[in-house]
Structure 1
């Protein structure tokens, strides 16, 4: 399980150090893709396979299903951590997520999210104001 929040920088070549606490859980290779809310999602291979199987079950006849699957898979790349503990984030994914220099890396249970620091701060501030309402709405899910 991934949890916690870490601040890192991306260098001019698009490389970012993966927090040491996350490296073991990611394994030798993992998948990096577009996420929701302008962040990037990082999945260990076993979690990616579970998600891939679920997405394969979506009906091809539904426009939303086709769009989401295209969006999600077209941005996906298999990654490995180099000897310095870094990953290389492709330019298309950096553009999508507005990653320039400062970024926030968070653990979200079965995945990691990589956010632009500015985007994360805006998102967090907006969500913090409605956190109690969100929690109340989730009571139906027995949380």
Structure 2
């Protein structure tokens, strides 16, 4: 699997359409044929998945016991608002207004690639988040990655 990397700044046009940056488009060969899926993130941002990655997420959800309350609630909230994005003839995708309102996105966005998905942030919110970097990134790395044994590598 090829992972997505990079951050891209974009502007939405007055009709809430966004041009996928050329550098990102090169990393998404399935964009034209399969499209993408956009949905809410776990915080006030949006997430774009390739159709293949979204289907993997749905496959995981389909294995949950649908009779348990937490599972029902998680599936409901995780899939709430999921929308397919299909580029128009000019290569723009239309971002749903209700999802933009959820994330507080007004016009300028940052597309932040995160391994197998793309987070879509309001540009000002993303700047504030990145400015609030932990005092010791090394300590965070140790807590998150430091307990991996050599066999896992």
TM class by smaller structure: 0.7 to 0.9
Distance 1:71 1:127 in 2: 28
Determine which structure has more spread, i.e. the larger CA radius of gyration.
Answer: 2
Quickly say closer, same or farther: Cα 1:122–1:20, change in 2 above 3 A.
Answer: same
Question: In the TM superposition, what is the alpha-carbon distance from 1:83 to its structure 2 partner?
Answer: 2.5
**Could you state the TM-score of these two structures normalised by the residue count of structure 2?**
0.82
User: Larger RCO: Structure 1 or Structure 2 (Cα < 8 Å, ≥ 6 residues apart)?
Assistant: 1
Structure 2: tracts of 5 or more residues without a match: none
Aligned to 2:147: 140
Query: Could you give the per-residue CA deviations for residues 49-90 of structure 1, whole angstroms, max 9, x where no partner exists?
Result: 111111122233443332221112121011111232211111
Matched position secondary structure for 2:84: strand
2:42 is aligned with 1:36: yes
**Could you state the TM-score of these two structures normalised by the residue count of structure 1?**
0.88
1:56 to 62, 80, 88: 62
Q: Which has the higher helix share?
A: 1
Q: Which has the higher strand share?
A: 1
Quickly say closer, same or farther: Cα 1:66–1:112, change in 2 above 3 A.
Answer: same
Q: Cα RMSD between the aligned structures?
A: 1.9
